[in-house]
Amino acid sequence: MVMPTVHLARDHEPHDVQQHLRAGRWRRVRRGVYVTDEPAATPGRRATTDDLARLEGLRRSSTSAYVVSHTSAAALWGLPLLRPSPSTHVTQSWLPNRRNGAGIVRHVTRLSEAETTLRHGHPVTTLERTAVDCAMALGLRGGLVVVDAALHAGADRAVMEATLAGLAGRRGVRAARTVLDLADDGAESPGESLTRLCLVQGGLPRPETQIAVDTHLGTVWGDLGWRRQRALVEYDGRTKYGAGGSVGADLLAERRREVALLEAGWQVLRVTAADLREAPATLVARARRLLGAP
């Protein structure tokens, strides 16, 4: 992860700050904190950059001890968020008398040494504790996106289960257990996580992730599916095509891949963000037909 370049107003003359802002070189992320702008950045990338910049501003100005947590810790770990938070989240064992301004959400709890670490110079909750906090706070969809990504990044499921056991009775623990039960380390994108959730909530058998299929092109990996029915579900993300070359070449390669799967005797159902957002019931019905389920 490349951390953003952050500028504090206290380190610059006011007219210099205004000049950078007018020229579009800097962008304000909170009072007195600015970040070097990236005009070509996607909205998601920009939101993550802003969160990381706010963290750096806090690190340079805070006079009290804290640990970066919740969605801010997720950003620091490079985990995706369904809805990026405009606030900076930190955990402290007590509320300090002196606050650091608006936009900071302070969670008061005691963290063990095993639940904290350092990342990019910031004190932060561990990958496992970060995922648990997000699962407790973000609901089923948002929590699953984070926990899937944390498991994919190497988080220890047993540690997460033990953390939840130690938090029994707290608000959000029951919901977080549901998230962890549904979580799968094979999901490689938020879209894959949400597709799997949609299918399971629609009453279909839980699909397996990252299915290897032998074809004349070699081993082809499907996002998720059901081996017995030889059925695959592929999520088509917006950034999938054209990321490392031309869109036309990527589409041609994807078509060759799909033909190879069909020739190997597999059916393929393609899913887009619009399917999940606008017609989840239709998506479930399509998957039922694919499986031959009643």
Ordered by start, the domain boundaries in the chain are 6-182, 190-291
How far the first Cα of the chain sits from its last, in Å, is 46
Q: How does pLDDT run across 263-289, given as a tens digit for each residue?
A: 999 999 999 999 999 999 999 999 999
Helix count (H) and strand count (E) of the chain? 11, 12
Rounded to two decimals, the pTM is: 0.89
Beta strands in 50-192 (DSSP E): 67-68, 88-92, 104-108, 116-119, 122-125
CATH number of 190-291: 3.40.960.10
| pLDDT for residue 241 | 44
For residues 256 and 204, which has the higher predicted lDDT (pLDDT)? 204
- Residue 187 pLDDT greater than 80, yes or no: yes
- Residue 242 pLDDT greater than 50, yes or no: no
| pLDDT for residue 209 | 98
Q: Which amino acid is at 109?
A: T
| pLDDT for residue 144 | 99
What whole-number percentage of the chain has pLDDT above 70?
Answer: 94
- Residue 64 pLDDT greater than 90, yes or no: no
| pLDDT for residue 99 | 57
Q: Mean per-residue pLDDT for 93-109?
A: 78
